[in-house]
A and B are shown apart, each in its own frame.
Chain A
Amino acid sequence: MTGKSVWVASFAAVVLIAIVLLSAGSPSVKANDQPSAPNAEVKIDNFSFGPQTLTVPVGATVTWTNRDDIPHTVVSTDGVFKSKVRDTDETFSYTFTKAGTYPYFCSIHPKMTGQVMVK
């Protein structure tokens, strides 16, 4: 019996803390009005896109960073987006406003492929 009440008490405490945390967090979300989709990153290392498949919500901005000593490009296979050539440490960003699957590749090194799934 005592064991059970301890459990109930700690559960109540956890719920209470959660409520406090949530209420503390919610005003900032409301103030921001637009639900900010999390941005995501793709790194280019050793002639490959990482992660090769990236899943993001609609509205997310994806930024590719070339970390190789050789220039690369980020080009949508279906012609949706196309970066200029990106040299070492240069980036390219694209904001995905529609759900779908977006395959892409490096037009200089076409063995390099990846995809962004927007849900």
Chain B
Amino acid sequence: MPDKKQDLIDQTLQNLNNDGVDRRGFLKCMAWAGTGLVWTMSGGIPMSRAFAKTADQSAGKGGDFSFVQISDSHIGFNKPANPDVTATLQTAINKINAMSHKADFIIHTGDLSQLSKPSEFDTLDQALKGASAKQIYFVPGEHDMLNDNGEQYLQRYGKGTKGTGWYSFDQKGVHFVGLVNVANLKAGGMGSLGHEQLEWLEDDLKGRSASTPIVLFAHIPLWTIYPEWGWGTDDSEQALSYVERFGSVTVLNGHIHQIMQKIEAKVSFHTAMSTAFPQPAPGTAPSAGPMKVPADQLQQVLGITDVNYVVSGRSLAIVDSPLGA
């Protein structure tokens, strides 16, 4: 019975993939229906050998590159859901280093720390030093801007960025934009980009060719996954209106500690697993928060996201790998 549903979703994904976004059946998905839309969601172990092969084959050709997204390391967290988040971050880094194709860089989509403590950032830095990819791009999560409005974060990870830490850069013809949606949050709201950042974004994208592949990354999802838990960004629609004219847009987020994916026209949305602890699927628990799973299953619900860019197909292939695979 769940298989039938899954087949349907896989099929839907494949159909959607005809628009140039190449992710043929990468994710084994199960349906989660909410607020009138059907999202697709990973069952937790989306990786198979076939997928891994596809990913390896698509990389390594001339001009191609790959990067890895990691997220929600929560260094300093020590509750039962994962008493050793430094060890699982280390496992994630080992996994990145062991990849058959070397990642060109790493993107960390926020919640580096649990409590914005200098010692927590120090521990993260120490662990990341061991990564084979030396270039790491960050955006802050709400846990990284506690007590000091993000001053420490900016000093450590946001040098040369604008405002609360937003910026853009180019890699082999792909335009990357790191956005901050965890600052100056309003009572009753969700994530927020704010007027100043939106203006900057509009300006940043202006004049770029519509054939430029765009990657937007931010901590809180830039699509509304579950407003009851604040899993969305109040003014993301405006941000997305600026990328409408581009032929390939990939949006990478963290925050919800589980894989979710949605493809809408030429925009594909993707959330990553955490390297620290899982969170419940939307609406399946009284609230969001660390979810305790049996110790031997923890590594199946933590992971990294490997993104391969193939110039010829102008597409991004996204493969999520649990740490335990």
Partners in one complex: yes
Residues of A bordering B, CB below 8 Å: 46-48, 68-71, 73, 77, 84-85, 87-88, 103-105, 107-111, 113
Check A85/B115 contact, CB under 8 A, given A69-B289, A107-B185, A111-B230. yes
Q: Which residue of B lies closest to A76 (CB)?
A: B187
Contacts of A111 in B (CB 8 A): 188-190, 227-230
B190-A110 in contact (CB<8A): yes
The listed residue (A48, A71, A103) touching B114 by CB distance below 8 A is A71
Evaluate contact between B187 and A85: CB separation under 8 angstroms. Answer: no
Contact assessment for B188 and A69 in the assembled complex, using a CB-CB cutoff below 8 Å: no
Question: Are A113 and B287 closer than 8 Å at their CB atoms?
Answer: no
Residue B290 is within 8 A (CB to CB) of chain A in the complex = yes
Nearest to B230 among chain A residues (CB) is A111
24 contacting pairs across A/B (C-beta < 8 A): A46-B286, A46-B289, A47-B287, A69-B79, A69-B80, A71-B115, A71-B143, A85-B115, A85-B116, A85-B146, A85-B147, A103-B187, A107-B185, A108-B143, A109-B230, A110-B186, A110-B190, A110-B230, A111-B188, A111-B189, A111-B190, A111-B228, A113-B187, A113-B188
Closest A residue, CB atoms, query B141: A108
B221 to chain A, nearest CB (A): 14
Closest CB in chain B relative to A61 CB, distance in Å: 23
Main secondary structure of the interface of A (DSSP, over half): loop
Measured CB to CB, the nearest residue on chain B to A105 is B187
Which chain B residue lies CB-closest to A107? B185
Q: A47-B287, A69-B81, A69-B290 are in contact. Are A105 and B229 (CB under 8 A)?
A: no
Q: Number of contacts between A and B (CB, 8 Å)?
A: 57
CB neighbours of B306 from chain A (8 A): none
Q: Nearest Cβ in chain B — how far from A68, in angstroms?
A: 6
Chain B residues with CB under 8 A of A105: 187-188
Enumerate the 5 nearest inter-chain pairs by beta-carbon distance, A residue then B residue, closest first: A46-B287, A105-B187, A47-B287, A111-B230, A110-B185
Contact in complex: B142, A108 (CB < 8 Å):
yes
The answer to whether B288 has its CB under 8 Å from any CB of chain A is yes
Q: Which of A47, A73, A110 has the most CB of B within 10 A?
A: A110
Contact B289 A47 (CB under 8 A): yes
Q: Is the CB–CB distance between A47 and B288 below 8 Å?
A: yes
Given the complex of chains A and B, what is the CA–CA distance between A68 and B188 in angstroms? Answer: 19
What is the CA–CA distance of A47 and B279 in the complex, to the nearest angstrom?
A: 13
CB proximity to A under 8 Å, residues B87-124:
114-116
Residue in A closest to B142 when the chains form the complex, CB atoms: A108
